[in-house]
Amino acid sequence: MKRFTWFRGLALAGLLATVINLALAQSTNQFIPWEPVGLSGGGGMFAPAISPANPDLMMLNCDMSAAYLSTDGGHNWRMIPHAQLHGDTACRPAFHPTNPDIIYASSGGQLRVSHDRGQTFTPIGNLKESLAGEIAICPANPDLMLAGTRNGRCYVSRDAGKTWIACAGPRGRVIGFHFVGDGRMIFTATADGVWRSDDAGEVWLDKTAGLPEKKIQGFAGGSSPDGHLTMLYCSVPSHADNGAFQGGVYRSRDGGETWQWAMGSGINKETQKADQWAYGPVAQYHQLLTTDKQPLTVYAFNTSTGFNPPHHETVYRSDDAGGTWRATYYQDPRFAQCNVEPDYVTASCGQSFKGGDTPFGVAICNTDPNRVMLVMNECHVTDNGGRTWFNGSTYPAPGQKRGPGCAWVCNGQVVTTTWNYYIDPFEPNRHYIAYTDLGFARSTDGGRTWIWWDKQSWAPWRNTCYEIAFDPAVPGLMWGAFSDVHDIPNDNIILERHGHNLPGGVCVSRDFGASWKAEAHGLPLKAVTGVVLDPHSPKGARTLYAGVFDVGIFKSPDSGRTWTLKSTGLGDPKNMRVSRVILQPDGTLFAMICAKRAPGNRSFLSEGAGLYRSRDGAETWEKISTSQPWLYPKDFAVHPHDSRRILVGACDTSWEDRTGGLYLTEDGGEHWRRIGREGPQTFGGCFHPQHEGWIYMTLTESAPGAGLWLSRDNGQTWTPFDDLPFANIQRVRFDSTHSDRMFVTTFGGSVWRGPIEPHTR
**Cis upstream peptide for 310 (omega within 30°):** yes
pLDDT the model gives residue 3: 33
In one letter, which amino acid is 469?
Answer: A
Q: Is 630 helix (H, G, I), strand (E, B) or coil?
A: coil
pLDDT tens string 116-155: 999 999 999 999 999 999 999 999 999 999 999 999 999 9
6 DSSP 8-state letter: H
Confidence of residue 226 (pLDDT cuts 50, 70, 90): confident
**Cis upstream peptide for 489 (omega within 30°):** yes
Rounded CA separation 682/635 (Å): 9
Cα distances from 44 to residues 67, 348, 414, 416, 673, in angstroms, run: 12, 20, 11, 8, 38
105 DSSP 8-state letter: E
pLDDT the model gives residue 40: 96
651 DSSP 8-state letter: B
In one letter, which amino acid is 163?
Answer: T
Q: With CA atoms as reference, report the closest residue to 686 among 580, 588, 615, 610.
A: 580
Rounded CA separation 257/487 (Å): 50
Fold topology of 468-726:
Methylamine Dehydrogenase; Chain H (2.130.10)
Sign of CA dihedral 751, 756, 758, 761: negative
Domain ranges of the chain: 208-327, 468-726
Residue 82 CA, distance from chain mean position: 13
pLDDT tens string 558-616: 999 999 999 999 999 999 999 999 999 999 999 999 999 988 777 999 999 999 999 99
Q: Which helix (H) or strand (E) holds 16?
A: helix 2-29
pLDDT the model gives residue 600: 74
Angle ∠(127,130,133) on CA atoms, nearest 5: 105
Beta-bridge partner residues of 710:
696, 719
pLDDT tens string 326-384: 999 999 999 999 999 999 999 999 999 888 999 999 999 999 999 999 999 999 999 99
Rounded CA separation 24/740 (Å): 11
Residue 291, CA atoms < 13 Å, CB-side half-sphere: 22
With a cut of 90, say whether residue 656 has pLDDT above it. no
* CB-CB contact of 456 with 515 (8 Å): yes
* CB-CB contact of 734 with 689 (8 Å): yes
In one letter, which amino acid is 532?
Answer: V
User: What does pLDDT average to over the chain?
Assistant: 94
Q: Which helix (H) or strand (E) holds 344?
A: helix 344-349
Residue-wise burial string across 117-153, b where 16 or more C-beta atoms lie within 10 A, e elsewhere: bbeebeebbebebbbbbbbbbbbbbbebbbbbbeebb
- The pairing of strands 131-137 and 91-92 is parallel
Rounded CA separation 454/625 (Å): 42
Q: Which helix (H) or strand (E) holds 358?
A: none
Angle ∠(44,104,108) on CA atoms, nearest 5: 50
Long-range contacts of 471-475 (CB under 8 A, 24+ apart): 471/533, 471/539, 471/542, 472/425, 472/533, 472/535, 473/539, 474/539, 475/426, 475/427, 475/512
pLDDT tens string 423-442: 999 999 999 999 999 999 99
pLDDT the model gives residue 758: 96
- How many other C-beta atoms can be found within 10 angstroms of the C-beta atom of residue 743? 23
Order of strands, sheet of 67-70, starting from the edge strand that comes earlier in the sequence: 45-50, 58-62, 67-70, 78-80
Sign of CA dihedral 90, 192, 291, 285: positive
What are the residues whose beta carbons fall under 8 Å from the beta carbon of 398, sequence distance 6 or more? none
- Mean of pLDDT values over 264-290: 97
pLDDT tens string 3-23: 333 333 333 334 433 333 334
703 DSSP 8-state letter: -
What is the SS3 assignment for 496-565? CCCCCCCCEEEEEECCCCCCCECCCECCCCCCEEEEEEECCCCCCCCEEEEEEECCEEEEECCCCCECEE
Q: With CA atoms as reference, report the closest residue to 419 among 62, 29, 745.
A: 745
Rounded CA separation 195/206 (Å): 5
- Mean of pLDDT values over 453-476: 97
Beta-bridge partner residues of 359:
none
In one letter, which amino acid is 65?
Answer: S
Question: In this prediction, what percent of the chain has a pLDDT beyond 70?
Answer: 96
Residue 358 CA, distance from chain mean position: 19
pLDDT tens string 606-632: 999 999 999 999 999 999 999 998 999
Confidence of residue 497 (pLDDT cuts 50, 70, 90): confident
Rounded CA separation 182/163 (Å): 19
* CB-CB contact of 493 with 444 (8 Å): no
Beta-bridge partner residues of 95:
103
pLDDT tens string 369-424: 999 999 999 999 999 999 999 999 999 999 999 999 999 999 999 999 999 999 99
- The pairing of strands 185-190 and 174-180 is antiparallel
- The pairing of strands 578-583 and 564-565 is unpaired
Long-range contacts of 495-499 (CB under 8 A, 24+ apart): 495/597, 496/597
* CB-CB contact of 672 with 665 (8 Å): yes
What phi and psi, each to the nearest 5 degrees, are found at residue 21? Answer: -65, -40
pLDDT the model gives residue 14: 40
- Mean of pLDDT values over 198-214: 95
Order of strands, sheet of 478-483, starting from the edge strand that comes earlier in the sequence: 464-470, 478-483, 504-509
Residue-wise burial string across 680-711, b where 16 or more C-beta atoms lie within 10 A, e elsewhere: bbbbbbbbbeeeeebbbbbbbbebeebbbbbb
Rounded CA separation 126/137 (Å): 17
Rounded CA separation 555/545 (Å): 5
713 DSSP 8-state letter: S
Cα distances from 429 to residues 181, 407, 417, 448, 687, in angstroms, run: 59, 14, 23, 10, 25
* CB-CB contact of 521 with 541 (8 Å): no
